[in-house]
Amino acid sequence: MRSKPLVLSLIVIAVAGVGWWWTQTRANGVEGTASGASAPAAGASGSAKAVPPQLVGVWKAKTLDVPVSIEASGTVAALATVDLRAQTTSTVRERLIKDGEMVRKGQALFRFDDRADRANLEKARAQLARDRAQLADAERQLKRAEDLKAQGFVAQNAVDTALANVEAQRALVQSDEAAIQAAQVQLSYNELRAPFAGRAGMVNAVPGALVQANASATPLVSIAQLDPIGVSFVVPETQLNAVLAATRGSKAEGLEAQVIPAGGKAGKDADALKGRVSFVDNLVDPSTGTLKLRADFGNDKHLLWPGQYVRVKMVLRTLKDAVVVPQAAIIQRGNERSVYVVAEDKTAVQKTVQTRYPFGDLVVVEGLQAGEQVVLDGKQNLRPGTPLKTQQAALNPAAPVAAASGASK
């Protein structure tokens, strides 16, 4: 009986000991965990102070003389095109031209049967010879009448009659001379010549064919002038003031224009044909809101062809010593434009810029100085103050622009 309380006491003491041991073990574990967590935090703080520099590609801002230009689509058109028709009714005696042949100004193209016209010319010449002989006789008659009048053998009316005969005969001679000229003109219609140099189209007559002096008749051949040649194009009406200002400020020969012919490469002076704006329309087309222009180009190599579709470029003015950077370096946030530049301490600095004129891969900006290193590659991961390690950007858009402007600095 006395042993049961003793056993219960021992059990209570054992349970209390186990509880104390478990409590102490848990407390020591929590402290160890907290101590272990503080060590990485300290290590993280230390690594934040030693962030490695970020590798970026940079491009130095440059100054260039940048041409401000307008580009438009144009159509090549011959400055002069003529449909040649016969001016007399006859038959073709000789055809002196082939389809598509290049012709010179004044070159004979066709000869017609001119026998009737030659006979008429000879007839007019014979009539002139007869009337000249009669004029000579009338002048002699007048001379005799004047001599007889001086001697008192005839009255004054005889002299007046002889003088009237002379004047009438002179008028008849003049009429004969005019008839000869008309016959010569009619005879000249039997030979068709090129009014200007150009290229012939399809020839629609062969020897022996009948031709008629009819405006509605089929043309014998068409000739288009190829050198010089024109390019017609339109620009938006928003460019009207710029075009007019450039036209007034250009030299006497007109505003310069360039066109890249088929097979040529844009941006290469060797391929571009240079001409002058020769026509600015006197009104804006209200249906399209465009202004029509035409430029004339030398075309001795026949690189431009009537009806061809080309791109026309006009240089309106030149921005002298403009600061340019690649368009890829511009960061756009709403209406704000900015770039990252490399500061002297090799950290990123964000600068606000104003874009003035884009051209090719570059853009004219304000807010930067020439020589500043602009971040081109890797800017998307930057923040102001980020340490940088720089290398030359792979893109080098300045080379073609410098060649085009001839003013890289």
Tell me the per-residue pLDDT of 42-78, one tens digit each, with 9 for 90 and over.
Answer: 444 444 456 788 888 888 999 988 888 888 889 999 9
β partners of residue 62:
324
First to last CA, the chain: 115
In a domain, 6, yes or no: no
Q: Is the pLDDT of residue 272 over 60?
A: yes
Cis peptide bond N-terminal to 228, omega within 30: yes
In a domain, 35, yes or no: no
Check residue 186 and give its pLDDT.
93
Structural domain that includes position 60: 54-66+319-405
In a domain, 387, yes or no: yes
Average of per-residue pLDDT across 328-336: 88
Where residue 277 sits, what CATH number does that domain have?
2.40.30.170
Rg of the chain over Cα atoms, rounded to whole angstroms, equals 49
Considering the entire predicted model, what is its pTM?
0.63
Average of per-residue pLDDT across 390-396: 75
Where residue 165 sits, what CATH number does that domain have?
2.40.50.100
Q: Apex CA 204: angle with CA 194 and CA 223, to 5°?
A: 30
In a domain, 30, yes or no: no
Same domain for 204 and 267, yes or no, is: no
More confident residue, 51 or 257: 257
Confidence of residue 29 (pLDDT cuts 50, 70, 90): very low
DSSP per residue, 179-248: HHHHHHHHHHTTEEE-SSSEEE------TT-EE---TTSPPSEEEE--SSEEEEEEEEGGGHHHHHHHHH
Cα 269 to Cα 208, 273, 400, 406, distances in angstroms: 52, 8, 11, 11
Angle formed by the axes of helices 115-151 and 156-188, nearest 10°: 170
Same domain for 90 and 60, yes or no, is: no
Same domain for 347 and 395, yes or no, is: yes
Check residue 208 and give its pLDDT.
92
Same domain for 311 and 342, yes or no, is: no
Tell me the per-residue pLDDT of 106-163, one tens digit each, with 9 for 90 and over.
Answer: 999 999 999 999 999 999 999 999 999 999 999 999 999 999 888 888 888 988 999 9
DSSP per residue, 366-380: ES--TT-EEEEESGG
If one counts the domains in the chain, the total is 3
Residues 374-402 as b or e (16 or more Cβ within 10 Å = b): bbbbbbeebeeebebebeebeeebbeebb
In a domain, 264, yes or no: yes
